[in-house]
């Protein structure tokens, strides 16, 4: 299952605090998108509620909703984030076999292309 790093938690809290009129049911939705050249990427978007079939990650500063296809692809990954002044940046990091992303388990770190949410 996709996990949330401390950096992402901080970025989610900043989004929650800075977006006016976001309902309690709101959060970020992660989707997989395929470009015209066939390359696949992940996108984050602020939404008012999850879609019916989304995987919902509870217990975070802001709701995290993951499209089912994206959830399968991100199963052994972590959502990471950074805050820069009044901006936030998110990206994905592949977790190793012991789940901490330090390369000491069954896999190597595999940073995935970061995407900013449509805020």
For the chain, the structural domain boundaries read 3-94
Give the residue with greater pLDDT, 38 vs 4. Answer: 4
So what's the pLDDT on residue 105? 43
pLDDT tens digits, 15-50: 999 999 999 999 999 999 988 888 889 999 999 999
Give the residue with greater pLDDT, 72 vs 107. Answer: 72
The average pLDDT across 51-68 equals 96
Tokens of 80: 């990471």
- Topology of 3-94 in CATH? Hypothetical Protein Aq_1857; Chain: A; (2.60.300)
């Amino acid at each position: 299952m996709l996990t949330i790093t401390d950096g992402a938690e901080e970025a989610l809290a900043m989004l929650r605090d800075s977006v006016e009129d976001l309902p309690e049911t709101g959060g970020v939705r992660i989707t997989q998108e395929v470009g015209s050249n066939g390359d696949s990427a992940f996108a984050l978007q602020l939404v008012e509620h999850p879609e019916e079939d989304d995987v919902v990650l509870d217990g975070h500063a802001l709701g995290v909703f993951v499209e089912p296809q994206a959830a399968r692809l991100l199963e052994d990954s972590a959502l990471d984030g950074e805050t820069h002044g009044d901006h936030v940046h998110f990206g994905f990091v592949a977790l190793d076999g012991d789940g901490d992303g330090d390369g000491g388990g069954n896999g190597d770190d595999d940073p995935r292309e970061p995407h900013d949410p449509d805020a």
